[in-house]
Structure 1
Amino acid sequence: MPENRSVLVVGLGRFGSAVATTLDALGQDVLAVDKDPELVNRWSSQIPTVQADMTDVLAIEQLNASDFDTAVVAIGDSVEASVITAGNLLDAGISDIWAKSVSKEHARILQRIGARHIINAETDAGKRVGHLVSGNYLDYIELEGAYSVVKIHTPPQFVGYTIGEAKIHDRYGVTIVGVKSPGHEFQYASNDLQLKRNDELIIMGKQDQIDHFIRG
């Protein structure tokens, strides 16, 4: 990914405003758009904002939307407005579209018209929180397909062993990507790296493999 991307965020509700302010804090070139003047006014002191209705092709042209690398369609209160906006942005030449969906049907329509990334904000967040609340993981990311990336403390049965000695990938199918020891820099995993009690392990694998590894 380039160091700096221009991102158009359409919709300044809770989801869209969080995306826009995060991108702005990360140094990305962000423009946030909403048709509601109150929302635009609320966020205008923190991020670049414009009031416009992006279901209108003329508004797309006036904002030079085609100049943006990426667009995030964060409209959640109208499926019709979300789909029309995504279609307009695709027609303007933005191929990297991230769109929030509010239902499976909404997601299916967005996929059919060509939105590259579909985000079901409530479901995705719910799964992540569920995994974190369970207490097994320090952090959890679900990848496309069957794989997940999780952060855990070293399971007690592996403390004192190197990754090679424990034959973790051969026995469990998971891959240790890296290790963060308290007070030390993150290290990419190698077979001779010894696992300590308070280490944080970043591991990748299928859900049943990860659960098997944690149980030992």
Structure 2
Amino acid sequence: MTRDRSVLVVGLGRFGVAVATTLDSLGQDVLAVDKDADLVNRWSSQIPTVQADMTDVLALEQLGVKDFSTAVVAIGDSIEASVITAGNLLDVGITDIWAKSVSVEHARILQRIGARHIINAETDAGKRVGHLVSGDYLDYIEIEGPHSVVKIHTPSHAVGMSIGDARIHERFGVTVVAIKSSGRELAYGSKDLVMKRNDELIIMGTQDQINHFLHG
């Protein structure tokens, strides 16, 4: 059966389970695969699962994985298994490969064989936690290039001013994407929107620009 916009998730560790259950909750057609029967049985009541070894080309053929549009290689306990699996999936024609890496060397190999998206789960999570632990940000998302999207409380120097009057973009280079006030719905960052003391601002900019805006 051909599956449009379907996702194959290989590996039922914490990372793979998080990806698969999130996709399933979003209504995506997802199938999770692991060679460990205990893991497959553990999650089979929550997400579609099957036991198979994806380093085995015959197993890929039996599952018909070529019909999937996207694959996530979430294997973290064996670099060899991760690389072989990614290579096998590419060989059967899945070009949209997302692969978890556990080291710089692992990521380099995955890139060389053609995996389109490399996720260093530990490093990416560590960066986010580091930013949150620093205390300046309520949330942090790193996007491609030098920019980040962060959620902060209104800096003291901007309290009571509208986005336009504060000339935030002109002075600091950041863009106020939206503002969340207590008890109100999220409002997009129009120039006449006033920033109150306990408002949560969602802003985008480079690290230097964000820091400049935070500290005035």
TM-score by length of 2: 0.95
**1:136 alignment partner in structure 2:** 136
**Cα separation, 2, equivalents of 1:181 and 1:114:** 45
Q: 1:192: Cα distance to partner?
A: 1.3
| SS of corresponding position for 2:87 | helix
Worse-superposed segment, 20-29 or 166-175: 20-29
**What do the CA deviations read for 1:18-67 (whole angstroms, capped 9, x no partner)?**
11112112221110000111111111111110000111111112111122
**What do the CA deviations read for 1:55-103 (whole angstroms, capped 9, x no partner)?**
1111112111122121110001111110111111112222211100010
**1:37 alignment partner in structure 2:** 37
**2:209 alignment partner in structure 1:** 209
Matched, 1:154 2:154: yes
Q: 1:113 to 1:41 in 2, by over 3 A?
A: same
RMSD: 1.2
**Cα separation, 1, equivalents of 2:87 and 2:134:** 39
Amino acid in structure 2 at the alignment position of 1:104? V
**Cα separation, 1, equivalents of 2:118 and 2:23:** 18
**1:111 alignment partner in structure 2:** 111
The total of aligned residue pairs comes to: 213
**2:176 alignment partner in structure 1:** 176
Runs of at least 5 residues in structure 1 that lack an aligned partner in the other structure: none
**Cα separation, 1, equivalents of 2:126 and 2:162:** 35
Q: 1:5: Cα distance to partner?
A: 3.5
Amino acid in structure 2 at the alignment position of 1:20? A
Q: 1:163: Cα distance to partner?
A: 0.7
TM-score by length of 1: 0.95
Worse-superposed segment, 63-72 or 120-129: 63-72
**Cα separation, 1, equivalents of 2:66 and 2:54:** 13
Q: 1:210: Cα distance to partner?
A: 0.5
**1:122 alignment partner in structure 2:** 122
**Cα separation, 2, equivalents of 1:117 and 1:180:** 32
Identity %: 80
**Cα separation, 1, equivalents of 2:122 and 2:24:** 23
**Cα separation, 1, equivalents of 2:7 and 2:207:** 33
